[in-house]
Structure 1
Amino acid sequence: MLQSIFDFGKTTSTFWHLCDKSLLDEQSDLIESEFLVGSKQRIKKIFLLMSESTLFKVSVMQLKRAPLLTMHIQFIDPSSDHFVQLNSDETLYGFRLSYQGKSLEIFTSDKVNYEIWKSHFRLKCIMNNFHDAFSVSKMIGKGSFAKVYSATKKENNNQYAIKAFSKSYMSQQSKGIESLLNEIKVMRRLNHPNIVKLHEVHETTNSIYFVLDMIQGGELLQRVRETGFLPAETMQKLAFNLISALRHMHENNLIHRDLKPENLLLKSTENNYEIVLADFGLATSLNEEPLFKRCGTPGFVAPEILEYIDGLDFYCDKCDVFSAGIILYLLITGNTPFAGIDQKSILKNNKQCEVDFKDQQFKLAPILMQDLVQSMLIKKPSQRLSSEECLKHPYFKELAKEYNRQTEKYQKNLQGYSEFKNAVKIGTQEIEQRSPLNFNSSESISSNISITRQDQRKSSIVVGASKFSQYSFKLSKQNSREITDIPQKQEPKKQKDLHRIALTNSQLKHMANNKQDNGDDPTPENCNIGAMVRQYNSTRQIRIPDSTLKIKECNTPTLQKQ
């Protein structure tokens, strides 16, 4: 098993940990499913829920959880000889989950359900198969902490940008591993057309890989250098897209803290306003203690960050609005407002926050744009516009109207679909109504599951009692404390040996694949395999001599090591 740097050398005594039942009420966009697990030569069902950051195991009396952030995921091939797969008459699709030295294998026979959970696991867990899944072509960028490569995903030939971090290098940096985890956590919460998308995270022996959208247009500032000043209409659309991305972050209580021209990329070469916000290395949640409190790039950082003193109230999301205002000022005038001969002088001017709004080039910009930028660059955060207020500024009036028209049309379409859905019945039974679909939920790189099919797997919990009590009631109606044990076809007064059955199933699979016809099918009681199992201890690995029926070697019923 790969030793993950995100475990920080810690081990856990058990995969699941008890948690307060009320924790479920704080979760949104839960998906639910039953899975098969194998334990001590016994197969049973468990009921699992997945939220944005946590995997929950629900039983009638208890709620347990495991963290998704540092969990590793592997996909178990349906043809593998896993203990649970060998003892099932159905094709089973499985996942192997692990963190801090503990692992869990879960299986389902529902292929559609498997693909849905697979797409969510890809987004929310860490994968270990980077070199098998991707073909890297060349390095396309290099920063202080990471290198960026172009790569092709083998299963669909799609192009992605790979941000590669050296594990040894990051381990040597102060809070290096913690900052990587923080960046993963922040990016997984973001889903906006003007924010770069994190599709997968991979860990290998030496590296951490972020699988990101391939942005074809390059840096915005480089494009401006090549084409000259941007037209007024282009500037308006660019500013709207930038502030829209900030509003999305701020609505999720996230702040970027490192907005600068280098972190604004263009989606394509077709226009100069479809920008994508990138690099979330200094981003943080306003609901958590930040790793770094005073950070940013000199000349673009908000003055309240530079003036922050430990113990005082933390600054708010308006710090990003200030940095965005600096970028717009630069695009209008061609100059940064806080120039200096060195970093110290730049930081001094940055802190004083004296912006020259009488600059001749700035005065050539549309009056409403001048007013917006000045409102974004007010030194006191209490007087500065928020990202939400910026989008309501008269400068964006026409763009906002068009956006609202599109939103209204979208909502009408949804309403029409809802009315249609409510009217459809199967026989005398009305189609079950599910909770509203989250249209901001992310999709995996290779998922082909439609939004409607994903919605069918979403939680069916209704408003009212606590979520745990509703799930608990649902399980108790199924006459189960952990759903139900799988019914075993037991012989009268005789317990079946699952190891023997597994060996027999393995033999039958092999015979079927090779279309062998040996007369009567062997049974657990009268075949060579049954005799050999009775001869050997069931915990030992069994190798069939060449003189007996030729079947492939089968592993013991203990959980296989990956």
Structure 2
Amino acid sequence: MQQSIFDFGQTTSKFWQNCDKDLLDEQNELLEHEFLVSSKQRQIKKMFLVMSQNAIFRISVQDLKQAPLMTMHVQFIERQSDNFVQLNSDEQLFGFQLSYQGKNIEIFTSDKLNYDIWKCHFRRFAILNNFHETFLVSKIIGKGSFAKVYSAIKKENNTQYAIKAFSKIYMSQQSKGIESILNEIKIMRRLNHPNIVKLYEVHETTNSVYFVLDMIQGGELLSRVREIGFLPAQTMQKLAFNLISALSHMHDNRIIHRDLKPENLLFRSTENNYEIILADFGLATSLEEEPLFKRCGTPGFVAPEVLDYIDGQEFYSDKCDVFSAGIIFYLLITGNTPFVGNDQRSILKKNKQGDIDFKEHHFKLAPIQMQDLIQSMLQKKVSYRLSSQECMRHPYFKQLVKEYKISIEKYQNNLLGYQEFNNAIKMGTQEIEQRSPLNFNSSESISSNISQNRQDQRKSSIIVGASKFSQYSAKLSKQNSREITDIPLKQESRKPRDLHRLALTNSQLKQIANNQFENIEDPTAEDNNIGIMVRQYNSTRQIRIPDNTLKIKQCNTPTMQKQL
């Protein structure tokens, strides 16, 4: 198992860590399911797990334990694997291997419906290890200070994505480099808006970290404007509303971007000039956490209060993004930024002063309501400046708000991350349909990505009122389904030569193969640990094992199986 950079060289002695039972009440949306696991005593147990966007919780009648999801690595175990739990089940089992900080567990279920739901959730909120098996990279399409962007095709559904690739060596050498990647992951996973670039998956390989993102094919904002000249008033209104609605969604989630500039605004396609997409959250931060960087942004677009900020003062608010958006709108109307200078120092000086010429000729030609909105966004005094939510209620957007409220509700009700089910996979009498990018001005309805039956099964069984842990605990007691319940192993007809068969795990096979081929241990020997286990099991039950493992004892130089 490779060492993850997100472990920061740390290891843990236990996969599950004790946590306060009240922590469960702080989680909004929960998935619950009872999985099968193999215990240290080689018994099959039930384990009741609940997953949120941030963690996985193991619940028993007595206590609550958790493991962090954001830095957890997940591998999908194929149904034909020779895992101990799979070998000793009469049903077809689907599994996950979960690992972080050097510890891992394997969990299994025969419920394909719930397996697909958990698999989807893992893809969106954990870290995957199968990038090169999953994607076919074609060409580089962009390059920044810290990352390169590639075009790639996902093999299973032939869908095109943009891949943002970070060099692990390079980021490790940067001050707070790894922390910056983690912060960007955390921020983007909290956002779900048609005008914000979507993060679908995060992969880690030996050398790189990969973000799987929307493929935005319309190019940068300024490049388009240079091609077509000034935007028509109606187009400008729709573009401005799309950006403000994206900011409002971020600010509702207590997130600020802090690097709004034309280079970070992309057009979804070439079909229109208003479907703008906000990208690059490298400097974004949550207002609920200590920021990695406190003064940051781009000269000419950064809000004055960010430049004026001094450690120890009250931190600036999300209105800093509103100021930067106002600068972008001013630029689109007039063709110039309000802070012009011969060098960066002179630009920053004017930027800090915040004096803007609202009598500029082209600005005065803009619609009166748009002029009023932009002036309200560019007030230097923060208390006079509109918030993004107040901008949404400005008379300039009165008609668009009605269309927006209908469209955004449909968009955000879609289950996150169900892109892999694009090809109309049949589920009962329902079909899962492909989700198209939302154009809030379109009258087309957004198809649900998941049947009602699937949504009902996804929901937690808890009710409002009592604590979530107490409800889960009561449920486990009622079902007599505690964490350590024994599961009967699959029974087979006994044969005289089968008395000492044992379902050897892959790790045991590797241990035998790596024993320098000198003293190969006999699994049935009297003084062998495995032999003790064999005799223990033979006293009560028989264990099923694949035929190929029986040949190991007869080989002079055992070799690893291909599937290992």
Q: Could you tell me the TM-score, scaled by structure 2's length? A: 0.83
Q: Is the 8 A contact 1:303 1:379 kept in 2?
A: yes
For 1:3, what is the secondary structure of its paired residue?
Answer: coil
For 2:35, what is the secondary structure of its paired residue?
Answer: strand
| Per-residue deviation, 1:403 | 2.9
For residue 116 of structure 1, what is the aligned residue in structure 2? 117
Q: Report the Cα distance in structure 1 between the residues aligned to 2:366 and 2:140, rounded to whole angstroms.
A: 39
Residue 56 (structure 2) pairs with residue 55 (structure 1): yes
Q: Report the Cα distance in structure 2 between the residues aligned to 1:498 and 1:141, rounded to whole angstroms.
A: 62
Q: Report the Cα distance in structure 1 between the residues aligned to 2:360 and 2:337, rounded to whole angstroms.
A: 11
**Residues 179-205 of structure 1 deviation map (CA, whole Å, 9 limit, x = unaligned):** 000000000001100000000001111
Cα 1:550/1:359, change in 2 over 3 Å: closer
Q: Report the Cα distance in structure 1 between the residues aligned to 2:8 and 2:546, rounded to whole angstroms.
A: 46
- Percent identity reads 73
Q: Which amino acid aligns with 2:3?
A: Q
Q: Is the 8 A contact 2:136 2:152 kept in 1?
A: yes
Cα 1:489/1:86, change in 2 over 3 Å: closer
Q: Report the Cα distance in structure 1 between the residues aligned to 2:263 and 2:523, rounded to whole angstroms.
A: 66
Cα 1:202/1:181, change in 2 over 3 Å: same
Q: Which amino acid aligns with 2:126?
A: C
Cα 1:407/1:65, change in 2 over 3 Å: closer
Q: Is the 8 A contact 1:81 1:554 kept in 2?
A: no
For 2:85, what is the secondary structure of its paired residue?
Answer: helix
Q: Which amino acid aligns with 1:76?
A: I
Q: Which amino acid aligns with 2:530?
A: T
Q: Is the 8 A contact 1:33 1:457 kept in 2?
A: no
For 1:48, what is the secondary structure of its paired residue?
Answer: strand
Cα 1:498/1:374, change in 2 over 3 Å: farther
Q: Is the 8 A contact 1:191 1:441 kept in 2?
A: no
| Per-residue deviation, 1:444 | 3.7
Which runs of structure 2 are paired with 1:296-315 in the superposition (5 Å)?
Answer: 296-315=297-316
Q: Which amino acid aligns with 2:391?
A: C
Q: Report the Cα distance in structure 1 between the residues aligned to 2:404 and 2:74, rounded to whole angstroms.
A: 39
| Per-residue deviation, 1:443 | 1.8
Q: Is the 8 A contact 2:123 2:417 kept in 1?
A: no
For 2:419, what is the secondary structure of its paired residue?
Answer: coil
Q: Gapped runs of 5+ residues in structure 1?
A: 412-437, 492-496, 505-531, 543-548
| Per-residue deviation, 1:489 | 7.2
Q: Could you tell me the TM-score, scaled by structure 1's length? A: 0.84
| Per-residue deviation, 1:535 | 5.4
| Per-residue deviation, 1:485 | 2.3
For residue 446 of structure 2, what is the aligned residue in structure 1? none
For residue 6 of structure 1, what is the aligned residue in structure 2? 6
Q: Is the 8 A contact 2:46 2:482 kept in 1?
A: no
- 1:552 pairs with one of 522, 538, 548: 548
**Residues 463-504 of structure 1 deviation map (CA, whole Å, 9 limit, x = unaligned):** 11101000000001122432632135799xxxxx99836379
Q: Report the Cα distance in structure 1 between the residues aligned to 2:190 and 2:175, rounded to whole angstroms.
A: 25
| Per-residue deviation, 1:267 | 0.6
For residue 370 of structure 1, what is the aligned residue in structure 2? 371
Q: What RMSD in Å do the two structures reach over aligned CA positions?
A: 2.6
Q: Which amino acid aligns with 2:285?
A: T
Residue 348 (structure 2) pairs with residue 347 (structure 1): yes
Q: Is the 8 A contact 1:195 1:278 kept in 2?
A: yes
Q: Is the 8 A contact 1:71 1:99 kept in 2?
A: yes
For residue 265 of structure 1, what is the aligned residue in structure 2? 266
Q: Report the Cα distance in structure 2 between the residues aligned to 1:551 and 1:346, rounded to whole angstroms.
A: 75
**Residues 141-167 of structure 1 deviation map (CA, whole Å, 9 limit, x = unaligned):** 011111100000111110000001111
Q: Is the 8 A contact 1:133 1:153 kept in 2?
A: yes
For 2:212, what is the secondary structure of its paired residue?
Answer: strand
Q: Report the Cα distance in structure 2 between the residues aligned to 1:393 and 1:47, rounded to whole angstroms.
A: 49
Cα 1:279/1:451, change in 2 over 3 Å: farther
Q: Report the Cα distance in structure 1 between the residues aligned to 2:386 and 2:499, rounded to whole angstroms.
A: 67
For 1:304, what is the secondary structure of its paired residue?
Answer: helix
Q: Report the Cα distance in structure 1 between the residues aligned to 2:89 and 2:488, rounded to whole angstroms.
A: 11
**Residues 321-371 of structure 1 deviation map (CA, whole Å, 9 limit, x = unaligned):** 111101100000110111111111111111000011010011111000000
For residue 421 of structure 1, what is the aligned residue in structure 2? none
For residue 413 of structure 2, what is the aligned residue in structure 1? 439
Q: Report the Cα distance in structure 1 between the residues aligned to 2:84 and 2:499, rounded to whole angstroms.
A: 9
Q: Report the Cα distance in structure 2 between the residues aligned to 1:180 and 1:469, rounded to whole angstroms.
A: 37
Q: Is the 8 A contact 2:47 2:482 kept in 1?
A: no
Q: Report the Cα distance in structure 2 between the residues aligned to 1:470 and 1:219, rounded to whole angstroms.
A: 51
Cα 1:538/1:89, change in 2 over 3 Å: farther
For residue 435 of structure 1, what is the aligned residue in structure 2? none
Which runs of structure 2 are paired with 1:414-429 in the superposition (5 Å)?
Answer: none
For 1:397, what is the secondary structure of its paired residue?
Answer: helix
| Per-residue deviation, 1:553 | 3.0
For 2:413, what is the secondary structure of its paired residue?
Answer: coil
Q: Which moved more, 1:393-402 or 1:201-210?
A: 393-402
Cα 1:440/1:339, change in 2 over 3 Å: farther
For 1:335, what is the secondary structure of its paired residue?
Answer: coil
Cα 1:305/1:9, change in 2 over 3 Å: same
Residue 286 (structure 2) pairs with residue 285 (structure 1): yes
For residue 427 of structure 1, what is the aligned residue in structure 2? none
Which runs of structure 2 are paired with 1:118-157 in the superposition (5 Å)?
Answer: 118-157=119-158
Q: Gapped runs of 5+ residues in structure 2?
A: 426-431, 433-449, 493-497, 506-521, 535-544, 553-562
| Per-residue deviation, 1:48 | 0.5
For residue 176 of structure 2, what is the aligned residue in structure 1? 175
For 1:539, what is the secondary structure of its paired residue?
Answer: helix
For 2:503, what is the secondary structure of its paired residue?
Answer: helix
Q: Which amino acid aligns with 1:103?
A: N
Cα 1:313/1:554, change in 2 over 3 Å: farther
Q: Which amino acid aligns with 1:388?
A: Q
| Per-residue deviation, 1:551 | 3.3
For residue 539 of structure 1, what is the aligned residue in structure 2? 530
Q: Report the Cα distance in structure 2 between the residues aligned to 1:343 and 1:478, rounded to whole angstroms.
A: 68
For residue 197 of structure 1, what is the aligned residue in structure 2? 198
